[in-house]
């Protein structure tokens, strides 16, 4: 087990169109035993980061440390790392037993007996000890995935790297394997760096999530941090499904408080809210963010705090409805219980609490105010922005 540290890690590819910066000055410290999940849009540098850690890609600049050792120039086999790939990369002509034990035979001088013992333990842990004599072609996708993970476990590495390991499995199996990986991690406590496209996977597996965009680090934080306290507009938009609603607004103030003015609605805010904004910035142009689950049907009591739109789509997803409203040409996504199902084309008034509003500086796109309540109504602490008193 070990701590992993990336200092100023940079990768530039010499591509046909000129140099391409795939990873730019990435700083990241992963404490021993932590499960870190790296997310970001396609091409943001997730795999390149992982491949530099594994030694499959050279480092252009910066340092990678495992424990106290700088490993930039170490061969992959000397890094004490085990990697599980998306396509499993199993040897088709070897049995499960041989596939799992092969790496140990190559890279250690363990006795046959010791290797067999480790293979047995790893396959028991993965629930595939009845498949030891089968070849990969005779296994399902989920079983192959287990073999690939077993092969990583048997190495007893300091660090596990996973590159989209579950993406070839169907949704149900993916969920199941996710639980298995969480169990394995809690049993072994090995530092893990895991790349995925799947937000649910990231939110459920990660101790901390690393969000990359365009090769640059956007935020590192617990799943709750990145969801409730996104550092900027990019993270707020990327994390969450359906994603946060955004509206360009300007803040107008007067003696009694203020208003967030959008071209299609005006939302009154308290003096406390205005003060909290003013503590952060003098600017007047913001992007208002509101999570779909924080919006609800409005009533007469919500005067001055409603948004009116036309119902475009109603999606029934089990106990919840996703309602898509048209607000003066922009979309407002609302997540509600399925008790009330508005008619398509009808006019609907929706509202949300001031305390759930996130505000982003329209120019820098940095967060100024974070909505401070979880859906359960519990308050969360706010680090960057300050929230209003209600
Ligand atoms: P995805 O989610 O699609 O797998 P990713 O976030 O893992 O994407 P990378 O594969 O790390 O992204 O790629 C980052 C950038 O580097 C992309 O623009 C990609 O085209 C580029 N890139 C990756 N490998 C090479 C290479 N060998 N030569 C040139 N450019 C590369």
- Number of helices followed by number of strands (H, E) in the chain: 9, 21
Residues 268 and 221 in one domain: no
Print the domain residue range for 192.
Answer: 4-228
- Segment 46-93, tens digit of pLDDT: 999 999 999 999 999 999 999 999 999 999 888 999 988 887 789 999
- Segment 17-48, tens digit of pLDDT: 899 999 999 999 999 999 999 999 999 999 99
CA of 20 to the centre of ligand 1 (A): 9
Alpha helices in 213-358 (DSSP H): 223-228, 233-238, 271-280
Atom of ligand 1 nearest to the CA of 11: 16
- List, in sequence order, every residue forming a beta bridge with 220; answer none if it has no partner: 210
From residue 166, alpha-carbon distances to 15, 40, 87, 197, 201 in Å are 30, 17, 9, 10, 9
Q: How many domains does the chain contain in total?
A: 2
Helix (H) or strand (E) holding 39: strand 35-39
Contact status, residue 331 vs residue 367, Cβ threshold 8 Å:
no
Read off the pTM: 0.89
Residues 163 and 36 in one domain: yes
- Closest residue by Cα to atom 21, ligand 1, is 22
- Closest residue by Cα to atom 5, ligand 1, is 43
Q: Name the residue of 41, 43, 214, 218 whose CB sits within 8 Å of the most ligand 1 atoms, as the mutation to test its pocket.
A: 43
Say how far apart CA 234 and CA 228 lie, in whole Å. 13
Contact status, residue 386 vs residue 229, Cβ threshold 8 Å:
no
CATH for 339 = 2.40.50.140
The answer as to whether 368 is a domain residue is yes
Residues 279 and 191 in one domain: no
- Segment 353-386, tens digit of pLDDT: 999 999 999 999 999 999 865 444 444 334 443 3
The answer as to whether 237 is a domain residue is no
CA of 374 to the centre of ligand 1 (A): 35
Nearest residue to 108 via CA among 82, 84, 144, 128: 82
**199 Cβ closer than 6 Å to some ligand 1 atom:** no
Atom of ligand 1 nearest to the CA of 197: 2
From residue 359, alpha-carbon distances to 59, 121, 230, 274, 324 in Å are 38, 52, 11, 11, 21
Contact status, residue 272 vs residue 389, Cβ threshold 8 Å:
yes
Per-residue model confidence (pLDDT) at position 29: 97
**45 Cβ closer than 6 Å to some ligand 1 atom:** yes
CATH for 126 = 3.40.50.300
- List, in sequence order, every residue forming a beta bridge with 30; answer none if it has no partner: 4
């Amino acid at each position: 087990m070990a701590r992993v540290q990336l200092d100023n890690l940079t990768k530039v590819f010499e591509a046909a169109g000129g140099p391409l910066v795939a990873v730019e000055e990435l700083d990241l410290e992963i404490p021993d035993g932590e499960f870190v999940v790296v997310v970001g849009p396609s091409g943001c540098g997730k795999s390149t980061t992982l491949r530099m850690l594994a030694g499959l890609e050279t480092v252009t600049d910066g340092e990678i440390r495992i424990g106290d050792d700088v490993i930039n120039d170490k061969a992959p086999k000397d890094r004490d790392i085990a990697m599980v790939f998306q396509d499993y990369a199993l040897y088709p002509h070897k049995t499960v037993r041989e596939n799992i034990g092969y790496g140990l035979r190559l890279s250690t001088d363990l006795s046959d007996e010791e290797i067999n013992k480790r293979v047995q333990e790893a396959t028991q842990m993965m629930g595939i000890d009845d498949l030891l004599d089968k070849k990969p072609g005779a296994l399902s996708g989920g079983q192959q995935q287990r073999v690939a993970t077993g092969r990583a476990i048997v190495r007893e590495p300091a660090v596990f790297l996973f590159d989209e390991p579950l993406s070839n499995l169907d949704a149900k199996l993916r969920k199941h394997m996710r639980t298995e990986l969480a169990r394995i991690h809690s049993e072994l406590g090995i530092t893990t760096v895991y790349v995925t496209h799947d937000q649910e996977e990231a939110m459920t597996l990660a101790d901390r999530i690393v969000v990359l965009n365009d090769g640059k680090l956007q935020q590192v934080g617990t799943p709750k941090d990145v969801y409730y306290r996104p550092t900027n507009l990019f993270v707020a938009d990327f994390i969450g499904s359906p994603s946060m609603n955004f509206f360009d607004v300007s803040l107008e103030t007067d003696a009694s408080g203020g208003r967030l003015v959008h071209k299609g609605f005006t939302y009154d805010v308290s003096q406390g809210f205005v003060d909290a904004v003013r503590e952060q910035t003098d600017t007047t142009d913001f992007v208002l963010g509101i999570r779909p689950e924080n919006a609800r049907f409005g009533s007469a009591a919500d005067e001055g705090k409603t948004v009116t739109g036309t119902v475009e789509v109603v999606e029934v997803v089990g106990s919840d409805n996703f309602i898509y409203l048209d607000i003066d040409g922009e979309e407002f996504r609302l997540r509600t219980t399925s008790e009330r199902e508005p008619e398509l084309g009808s006019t609907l008034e929706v509202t949300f609490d001031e305390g759930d509003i996130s505000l982003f500086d329209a120019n820098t796109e940095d967060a100024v105010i974070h909505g401070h309540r979880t859906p359960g109504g519990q308050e969360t602490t706010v680090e960057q922005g300050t929230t209003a008193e209600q």
